[in-house]
Amino acid sequence: MSIVQADNLRELLLSQTPMIDVRAPVEFATGALPWAANLPLMVDDERHRVGLCYKQRGQPAAIALGHQLVAGSVRQQRIEAWRAFIAAHPTAVLYCARGGLRSRLSCEWLAELGVDCPQVVGGYKALRGFLYRYLRDHSTTQPLTVLAGMTGTGKTALLSQLGHSVDLEGAANHKGSSFGRPLDGQPSQTNFENRIAIALLTVQHHHPGRTVVVEDESRTIGARHLPPYLVERMANSALVVVNVPFEERLERLWQEYVVERHADSLAFYGDGGDQQFADHLRASVVRINKRLGGLRTQQVLALVEQALVAQQRDNFASHRHWLAALTRDYYDPMYSYQLDRKRDKIAFSGSPSEVLAFLRNH
């Protein structure tokens, strides 16, 4: 019986072909494709036992143990999960770690029931390798345009209006600042890099010849690290700076870091949402205390406490006080210093509408 093999990795990624990942959940959590479904041939404990058997007694004994562990109703349940996914996604492909025994066996079991599912040549290792090389090569050979601006200028919103942009914060599931930590966590480092590479690949496919635009970021976004070759490319790229009045920036930060965050906390934590929101604000201030300094940290925390007490009476208006102090005394000076060091790289500076027009036309 022959197994159909899917070997056009670029097309699989560009089309976001539905994928069945038959690796164990612990492998999937470390790195996977964003749209892949983890329907394992063996769960973590089974894989661990088979791995130990392989080390102690060799491959034949390990294969025999695997068949023993995944047999009868267990085997039937896993095949049915694959069949259901393929029925819902007729173009689906299947992969394991390296395109070896697990994916081949899974495809064979499906084929015995008359279901054909292509096996990805080289498995996840080949997909990951393709994305790693693409991101590295793009970063070392292709120009970027970096969108800069003070905190609260709406850079991410501007990027979303450009077809030839990549949202690095979106890939990291983090809004960049101490206050932008997500409720649902960040992707693994590998998945973060995979997301960036897929976004770059997609942009270049749909907008060939256009220079990709990214937001000005530090080396880290939350707990995720930009690859060093991407950091170097960004540091040597042309800057486009968006300028927005302070009060308008403050209003955007208030809406995003206070109003929306509070609503998200209530939706995510239910009755504990208010407490989670308060704890989040306090922890976010404390997290930057080394750069704020002890006295300023205490002053901002005092304003936060006053706002938390008053928020139900004044519809969260008091939160603007600590946000204004933090923006004026911390974020703006820090960003001004960083921008001054890059003055020679600024290609354009203007209002949001002017910047958007420039980026669309250049």
pLDDT at 2: 46
Q: Please, which residues have CB within 8 angstroms of residue 262's CB and are 6 or more apart in sequence?
A: 273, 274, 277, 311, 316
pLDDT at 285: 93
Torsion-angle region of 108 (φ positive above 0: left; ψ -120 to 50: alpha; else: beta): alpha
pLDDT at 176: 75
pTM of this prediction exceeds 0.75: yes
Query: Is there a contact between 46 and 70 (Cβ–Cβ < 8 Å)?
Result: yes
Per-residue exposure over 20-50, b if at least 16 CB sit within 10 Å of its own CB, e if not: bbbbbeebbeebbbeebbebbbbeeebbebb
Residue type, 14: L
pLDDT at 4: 58
Query: Is there a contact between 166 and 198 (Cβ–Cβ < 8 Å)?
Result: no
Could you tell me the mean pLDDT of each successive run of 10 residues in the chain, 362 residues long? 68 95 96 96 94 90 90 94 97 93 93 93 95 96 95 94 95 86 88 97 94 94 95 96 96 94 92 94 92 91 96 95 93 90 94 97 86
Structural domains present in the chain? 5-128 (3.40.250.10), 142-362 (3.40.50)
Tokens 């205390």 belong to which residue?
289
pLDDT at 179: 84
pLDDT at 196: 98
Q: CA-CA-CA-CA torsion for 171, 135, 223, 238, nearest 10 degrees? A: -80
What is the DSSP track for 5-42? EE--HHHHHHTT--EEE-S-HHHHHHS--TTEEE--SS
pLDDT at 3: 55
* Best CA proximity match to 202, nearest among 6, 15, 9, 359: 15
Q: Coil, strand, or helix at residue 71? A: coil
Q: Tally the C-alpha atoms within 13 A of residue 340's C-alpha that lie toward its C-beta.
A: 6
Query: Is there a contact between 221 and 169 (Cβ–Cβ < 8 Å)?
Result: yes
pLDDT at 1: 40
Of the candidates 53, 96, 107, 117, the residue annotated as catalytic is: 96
Rounded to 5 degrees, φ, ψ at 200 are: -60, -45
Note if 117 is an active site residue: no
Give the Å distances, CA to CA, from 253 to 63, 128, 158, 172, 315.
57, 36, 15, 19, 15
Query: Is there a contact between 346 and 241 (Cβ–Cβ < 8 Å)?
Result: yes
Crossing angle of helices 44-57 and 59-69, rounded to 10°? 150
pLDDT at 6: 66
